[in-house]
Structure 1
Amino acid sequence: MAGDAIATVEHVFRQEGGRVLAGLMRRFGDLGLAEDVLQEACRKALELWPQTGIPSNPAAWLTSVARHAALDHVRRAGKSVPDADAILSRLPAEPALDAQPIEDDRLRLLFICCHPALAPDAQVALALRTLCGLSTAEIARAFGVAEAALSQRVLRAKRKISEAGIPFALPEQQAWLQRLAQVQQVIYLVFSEGYCASAGDALLRADLCAEALRLARLLDSLLPHQPEVQGLLALLLLQASRGAARLSPDGQLLTLEEQDRSRWQGELIAEGLAVLEQALVARTPGPYQLQAAIAALHARAATAGEADWRQIHLLYGALLRYKPEPLILLNAVIACAMAHGAQHGLAWLARLEALPGLANSHYLHAARADLLRRQGDRAGALAAYAQAAPLAVNTVERQYLLRRQGEMRLPLV
């Protein structure tokens, strides 16, 4: 019974913790207090559930216990409890017809966490850690920094909020756009972690993908006709359409070439393409629209080989002007190889090894292995797969690389 309680608490905290925390922050306006009482509620659950049984709605139980603990704390401190409406007091009493208040707790508090007094990276890290339930290790890998450095970044952000008295209150509606880039980045990173988990035994985390897609839809309804918001939503829809096809029935990773495209979700593709078309009408390209355009070219192709790789290569070149990041550059090199031949990609890969963000990345060695395999260099591919596999932290990715490595050892028939 104790094991069931532990598993349930861990599951609820992972799945619902961000939403519960968002509600507590909305009610009490104090991040530290919200985190403390949620942790206290989890401890009580671990103590009581083995004796009383797991409640029918564990998340509601945790919310109720945490709320009562927060009320007790506020009363002991002699403070008044802010009403939820007070937290939204900066919103216009009568919003314009084309503007909508943020009704979703988690999306509202994403905007609140992305306060301009905090450094942009700190805003995103704080939102990912407190509201979206990502671990410090997961966020650190997303940022490409050490876990200790990321932890300090979050702690400094919380300290600045406390010391500077930064209110957890929404900005005026006209200021939402100032925070939009960080809010979009949070949603994008949550989806990315769900689509390809940076560690662990599962490649996909459907809960994170679904939550990111939900937030992207809400953001699009909140700020309609924003091309980059539409681009983000289109990108997530198109990527999500492939989720079920990325694993074989026995749980093995399948590449684009190996996937059964009949398993791609046509309704998500159709919606994603329609949203992208709406975004492109404005003729104001941005990184999310460009990534969505790349995903759209894959979605329209009957097979991986029929994708317009020359156009994909050009789009990656444009994307690099907005996001000159190591993994984007690696993807651009792969697209170059698919468009112009493996030898061109291998020449570029040799130059990328010096980049700090790629030197110890299994993605770089895996890309080299794949290009060598396409050239028929089995020995070179075998060595590259052998380099890549130990570097992969995710079990499913590592098993894929080991499978490929084993295939290179098999005699030609």
Structure 2
Amino acid sequence: MKSLGSIRRDFAPWADPGAKPYISFENVTKKFGDFTAVNNLSLNIYEREFFALLGASGCGKSTLLRMLAGFDEPTAGRILLDGQDLRGIPPYRRPVNMMFQSYALFPHMTVEANIAFGLKQDSMPRAEIDARVADMLKLVKLEQFAKRKPHQLSGGQRQRVALARSVAKRPKVLLLDEPLGALDKKLREETQFELMDLQQSLGLTFVVVTHDQEEAMTMADRIAILDKGEVMQVATPAEVYEAPGSRFVAGFVGNVNMFEGRIAGRTAAGAEIAGPNGLTIATSDAGGAEAGTAVAFAIRPEKIKVSSRKPADILANAMEGEIFDIAYLGDMTVYHVRLDHGQVVKASSLNASRITEDPLTWNDRAWISFPPDAGVVLTR
């Protein structure tokens, strides 16, 4: 079997039938009056996993995090942590810590006092507090800022203080609610890798809520795609992107082109999809879809080649159209091509060299093409 994307690390307990989940949501429902925020949801998360809950606003991801933290109780179902039912256990008794988007630092306290606050609340001996705070400052590389107040720090530094305070008590699980939302794009990208390194060095289980697809794809071992309080798919970033389980997931994660049609027939090489206006697409894998089944052929823009000439490869799916929009992004160029049968297709081309061998511009006639194994057939 071909690998889907790069492998992050040698860590995949979810693929082991004998592995026991560390966190389990079992048929969990949460209602607020007549509104159902989480609908009969079941989900397993494993120890030392960096797990992301990804979805649009209102999909239920923050509600799940709040129920795990103890701020809300499920209307039905149960949540288990390391085999223990969490119902009725108050937040301060749970072996979890939550880091909020606002960071919630104490403005009148120094960096080291902020980090030490929870340890003092637990009546830890002073010597142990000092040692733990020193360890945390070193971990997040803020030793020289120990005596500063939050307003004297940059956004990225405040984020690291909040993170150090969250892990200082060494919780079993760290919950992060949009942890990088307040940072600018470049700092957010840098901090994503810092979080990954920190999680692996501490050996903790991280559960992060985000609506940022790139953030989830970068940091998480697995991602749960949520919609209207239900899990649409749980998989690794590569599987979510390369093998989405539904039209919703394919359309939500990244950019995608959808060719709607029906399976016209199965062949030794795969199947043929018949679309509107005489469109036909050859695919090497139609799964279990039988002839006559309504399907969508989903293909990412980077899998599509744009050329001024018809491709020589007779096995390639080739369609002609007209370029009506171009976006130059530096590292790549994105083309919007209106095909002769009417559908608009987005294709992206990597700018690997400074000189374009086959220059294309607005209103040019162009061919798009892709091999039969470039996309995925979706039946739902």
TM-score, normalized by the shorter chain, greater than 0.5: no
Larger strand proportion of the pair: 2
TM-score (norm 2): 0.28
| TM-score w.r.t. length of structure 1 | 0.27
Greater RCO structure (CA 8 Å; 6+ sep): 2
**Higher helix fraction (1 or 2):** 1
